[in-house]
Chain A
Amino acid sequence: MERNDPQFTAERDGALLRIGLSGEWKTGHPLPTAAALEHSLASGAGIARINFDTSGLAGWDSGLLTFLLQLCERCSAAGVAVERDGLPPGVRRLLNLAAAVPERKGARRESQREPFLARVGAAAVRARMSNRDTFTFIGEVAVAVFRMFRGKARFRRSDLLETIQECGAKALPIVSLISLLVGLILAFVGAIQLKMFGAQIYVADLVGIAMVREMAAIMTGIIVTGRTGASFAAKLGTMQVNEEIDALKTMGFSPIEFLVLPRMVALFLMMPLLCLYADLMGVLGGMIVGVTMLDLGVVQYFLQTKAAVKLDNLWIGLFSSAVFGVLVALAGCLRGIQCGRSASAVGEATTSAVVTGIVSIIVATAVITVICNVLGI
């Protein structure tokens, strides 16, 4: 033990307990706790009061104060009087300050464990409320879309154009990269299998149909969720925190028309275009593998793809991507508008927007696939 470590001594003098404090009572030194004095302060021990001797005290901070507060608490529980005259004046004043405002009744949060059934019930009620919010939101958006077609919806055209640029043109680099790589990967996996039968040429069919019908739409959907859906939620969430959405409402602007509608329209228009672009990039990726690894000709690959991919596939892909655009915009805007009024709430809103977006994309893909199956497309 170093010479300057904080320590205390307890000397008994009849009914008086003299507590000597010495050393550097500062945070960072090994601070003793008041628990060691427990049995000397127990009600049977015959101590009526304590006082302090601080002649050996070299320095102090909150470490000493917490020790003394613990001690005072134990003393008052045991009915022992505390004489503070021996303490440094600064310590005495801070102790008085800490005791000056009594704890407000009921202010302390009780962390009691609710019974299991109560928690299930509360969760069910919350889920119901959240579903109701979601459906209300979707209903309001539907009304806004209807008003838009009647030319009555109010939003700024410049907002729409800005969002179109933000979620359309600016997403091209990442969409290029991802869809090119997805095309490459599909071709690689297919090539190994098909080569065994000498059917390398069918790599073109595999990549073409997979990309055009499903993968391009799903991949752009997921990219746009992460890029644009998250940014919608963060933007609207921050507007909620800054009372900007309140300002819109009180000036008679519907936040749904003013904020949600341009974003949804922008994604609805841009997603099919991004998807079409991703189709091309995916096929290009497949072609790179076909030409470099499988010794297929560029024209041969192109003709094979053209023969394999039916127009139906393209329509299904584009239709899916338009649906995904609406879903991603709805998820992002819903979470943004539901956002609480703090910085951490904005973070939660963004996370939740991405999760909701991706889940709804996958569910929508499943539904569309089943419908196409039933219709025999």
Chain B
Amino acid sequence: MGGTAEPCIVVRDLTMAFGSFILQRDLNFTVDRGDIFIIMGGSGCGKSTLLRHLIGLQTPAKGDVLYGDVNFWGLDPEERERFMRRFGILYQSGALWSSMTLAENVALPLEEYTDLDPAGIRDRVSLKLALVGLAGFEEYYPSEISGGMKKRAALARAMALDPDILFFDEPSAGLDPISARLLDNLILELRDSLGATVVVVTHELASIFAIGNNSVFLDPDRRTMIASGDPKMLRDGCPDPTVRNFLTRGEAGSAG
């Protein structure tokens, strides 16, 4: 994996803060094209906040986020908005628009940003919903389907515009092991077939090892990243005991 390493996202000296409270400082890492990149760390370390910085919902206190050679936070708001259409984002709660049916949810970005005719849009919507195993659920409202189905429908929406980069915020939170596994497989499948780059925020070890080939580990106490690289290698050979402990559910114990 990652044979032709072409940087897709570069984070440089990023500091995240709420007012005067610094959440994480001096983050530096690179996500290569085609990576499945895991942002991990204990609860409350700022994983989801880091994601919000990457997708344009929260401004960094310091530092840059580069997509290819585009300085994301250096763009003016309108250009940034346009740039953000290349992202597909799966939110923790799914975040489907509750007043619209699944079909309308998936169709909205298509209606807005493509010049497809209604029939073309309908076909695309059916395709995307079929890809996530929800064929036939077009006319359901988000409140009428289960949590796992909401996640998948939200994924269909995230893929509506065939994005280059997919972001997942805790995709397996609240899912049973089988659904979580299916979602993992879906993520791998999407990366391989679409050639997309995937960034996943999670602390599910099973998912981390099943799909991740690169990662960054944030530490809430030291308030910065303390490791990066392939999660399997970190588990076996990271010099930092906190990281090893995390990746072995504490079984590395006090060995460090």
Contacts and interface: CB of A to CB of B under 8 A. Distances in A.
Contacts of B95: 242-244, 246-247
A238 B97 CA distance: 11
Interface in B61-109: 81-82, 84-85, 87, 89, 91-99, 108-109
A252 B82 contact: yes
Interface in A118-173: 154, 156, 159, 162
Contacts, number: 51
Interface in B90-138: 91-99, 108-109, 112-113
A2 B85 CA distance: 73
B82 A250 contact: no
7 contacts: A156-B108, A247-B91, A247-B95, A250-B87, A251-B108, A252-B112, A253-B112
B113 A247 contact: no
B112 A154 contact: yes
The 4 closest A-B pairs by CB, nearest first: A243-B95, A247-B95, A243-B91, A252-B81
Contact of A243 (B81, B85, B92): B92
Interface residues of B, number: 24
A288 interface: no
Contact of A252 (B85, B94, B97, B157): B85
Contacts of A248: 97
Interface in B127-185: 157
A244 B89 contact: no
Interface of B: 52, 55-57, 81-82, 84-85, 87, 89, 91-99, 108-109, 112-113, 157
Contacts of B57: 246, 249-250
A164 B62 CA distance: 45
A252 B93 contact: no
Contact of B56 (A239, A244, A250): A250
Nearest to A235: B99
Nearest to A162: B99
B92 A252 contact: no
Given A243-B92, A252-B112, 6 more contacts: A242-B94, A246-B95, A248-B97, A249-B56, A250-B56, A251-B109
Interface string A240-266: 001110111111110000000000000
Nearest to B91: A243
Interface string A260-286: 000000000000000000000000000
Nearest to B154: A247
B109 to A, nearest CB: 5
B93 A250 contact: no
B89 A247 contact: yes
A152 to B, nearest CB: 12
A251 B113 CA distance: 10
Contacts of A242: 93-95, 98
Interface of A: 154, 156, 159, 162, 238-239, 242-244, 246-253
Nearest to B81: A252
A226 B155 CA distance: 37
B104 to A, nearest CB: 9
Contacts of B113: 252
B92 A250 contact: no
Contacts of A251: 84-85, 108-109, 112
B98 A239 contact: yes
A246 B81 contact: no
A199 to B, nearest CB: 55
Contacts of A154: 112
A250 B55 contact: yes
B246 to A, nearest CB: 16
Nearest to B92: A243
A47 B84 CA distance: 71
A189 to B, nearest CB: 44
B34 to A, nearest CB: 22
B84 A244 contact: no
Nearest to B157: A247
A242 B81 CA distance: 21
A265 to B, nearest CB: 17
A267 B81 CA distance: 29
Contacts of A252: 81-82, 84-85, 112-113
Contacts of A253: 108, 112
A250 B84 contact: yes
Nearest to B109: A251
Contacts of A156: 108
A231 to B, nearest CB: 12
Contacts of B97: 239, 244, 247-248
A246 B98 contact: no
Nearest to A254: B81
A260 to B, nearest CB: 15
